[in-house]
């Protein structure tokens, strides 16, 4: 974490040293370390650990030491060499605002102007806020101005992640936003996109444990995103209720099988219907969100639920849009260590972690 001025946090910092991409969620802690190989990447190290019970409450880390211990276990198992980490805050914990500043300003002058004006755009006391900005480019509205992306969050969101990472003996060098990490990771999905995603509108649905993110990309830039409460945890809970299992037993049964013959018809098929309805509803929200919205030409489904057999086919049939299971590791080589940790099996759930690890090569 690099602070240039008080309460100024490096969302957009550049790194030359390798970074571990660390995705901390309510259900799991996933880390991945990448290396560049020519025009592609290789997975050097990977591991995942369950998130300690009650350590995270509504995306806020309430027990940094417990989370740190889980991170440390994952690091040891993965064999990752770097001590520097990129980690993300959730999108709903971040404030983003596109503002304009004169193009003639030097970097130092620009920093001073942003610092002076930031409180106009951030609805919290500035002594409780960490923020950063990035220069997007010349403004389309005024050639003398430039577009600046301002990003802010409550400092406690940053400090929670710093504390958990520090408890694992690591350094939080980059604090990102999940939506930015996801956009960054989309370059790893271009091998599955129509025309590599260029001049195309693609929907990306990332099913997490308790939260799903629906995003729409145009030429690989996110133009719409929506988070909603839905995820694989609901399937786990239904398995628990239906078969009288503990959470651990239900989670293991989901992955390894062995459930009664009525599981598909009574539990899994209704859940797939719910998944499809959530995607359809999100699509309608997107189309109604502004004039001239184009229906996506393709849907990529990611997250743990993307591994459910037949999900992509059901969504494609119901929505009438070509749908595939997204695989960000599809064009990567894998180290023997990463293979041993089952990284390929977990690939669909690694968008955020991969997007964070890619900050190594900014």
What pLDDT was estimated at residue 10?
56
162 inside domain: no
287 inside domain: yes
Which strand ranges, in their side-by-side order, compose the sheet holding 94-102?
A: 94-102, 145-154, 129-138
N-term to C-term CA, the chain = 16
- Close Cβ partners of 79 (under 8 Å, ≥ 6 residues apart): 45, 337
303 inside domain: yes
In whole angstroms, how far apart are CA 56 and each of 9, 61, 82, 164?
22, 4, 25, 11
Please determine, for residue 165, whether its predicted confidence score (pLDDT) is greater than 90: yes
- For residue 177, the SS3 value is strand
**How many CB atoms sit inside 10 A of residue 336's CB?**
7
135 inside domain: no
53 inside domain: no
Distance, CA of 293 to CA of 267 (rounded, Å): 35
Convert the pLDDT of each residue in 198-224 to its tens digit: 999 999 999 998 899 999 999 999 999
313 inside domain: yes
153 inside domain: no
Convert the pLDDT of each residue in 260-299 to its tens digit: 989 999 999 999 999 999 999 999 999 999 878 989 999 9
In whole angstroms, how far apart are CA 333 and each of 192, 267, 354?
17, 36, 14
Whether the model pTM is above 0.85: yes
Total of domains in the chain: 1
Please determine, for residue 237, whether its predicted confidence score (pLDDT) is greater than 50: yes
What range defines the domain where residue 265 resides?
190-340
CATH assignment at residue 309: 3.30.420.40
Distance, CA of 230 to CA of 210 (rounded, Å): 5
Q: What share of the chain is helix, strand, coil (3-state, %, to 5)?
A: 40, 30, 30
334 inside domain: yes
């Amino acid at each position: 974490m690099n602070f240039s001025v008080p309460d100024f946090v490096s969302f957009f910092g550049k790194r030359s040293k390798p970074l571990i991409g660390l995705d901390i969620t309510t259900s799991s802690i996933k880390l991945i370390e990448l290396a560049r190989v020519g025009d592609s990447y290789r997975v050097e190290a990977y591991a995942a650990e369950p998130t300690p019970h009650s350590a995270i409450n509504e995306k806020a880390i309430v027990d940094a030491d417990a989370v740190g211990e889980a991170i440390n276990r994952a690091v040891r198992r993965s064999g990752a060499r770097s001590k520097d980490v990129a980690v993300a805050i959730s999108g709903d914990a971040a404030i983003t605002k596109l503002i304009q500043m004169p193009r003639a300003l030097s970097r130092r002058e620009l920093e001073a102007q942003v610092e002076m004006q930031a409180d106009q755009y951030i609805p919290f006391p500035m002594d409780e806020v960490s923020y950063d900005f990035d220069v997007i480019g010349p403004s389309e509205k005024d050639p003398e101005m430039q577009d600046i992306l301002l990003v802010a969050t409550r400092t406690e969101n940053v400090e929670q992640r710093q504390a958990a990472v520090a408890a694992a003996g690591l350094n939080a060098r980059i604090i990102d936003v999940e939506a930015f990490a996801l956009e960054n990771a989309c370059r790893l999905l271009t091998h599955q996109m129509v025309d590599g995603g260029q001049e195309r509108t693609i929907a990306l649905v990332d099913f997490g444990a308790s939260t799903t993110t629906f995003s729409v990309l145009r030429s690989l830039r996110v133009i719409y995103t929506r988070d909603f409460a839905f995820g694989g945890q609901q399937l786990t809970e239904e398995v628990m209720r239906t078969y009288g299992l503990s959470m651990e037993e239900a989670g293991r049964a989901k992955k390894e099988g062995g459930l009664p013959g009525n599981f598909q018809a009574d539990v899994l098929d209704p859940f797939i219907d719910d998944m499809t309805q959530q995607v359809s509803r999100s699509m309608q929200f997107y189309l109604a969100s502004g004039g001239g919205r184009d229906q996506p030409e393709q849907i990529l489904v990611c997250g743990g639920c993307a591994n459910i057999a037949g999900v992509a086919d059901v969504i494609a049939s119901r929505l009438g849009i070509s749908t595939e299971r997204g695989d960000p590791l599809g064009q990567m080589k894998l180290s023997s260590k990463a293979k041993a940790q089952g990284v390929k099996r977990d690939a669909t759930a690694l968008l955020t972690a991969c997007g964070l690890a890619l900050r190594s090569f900014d």
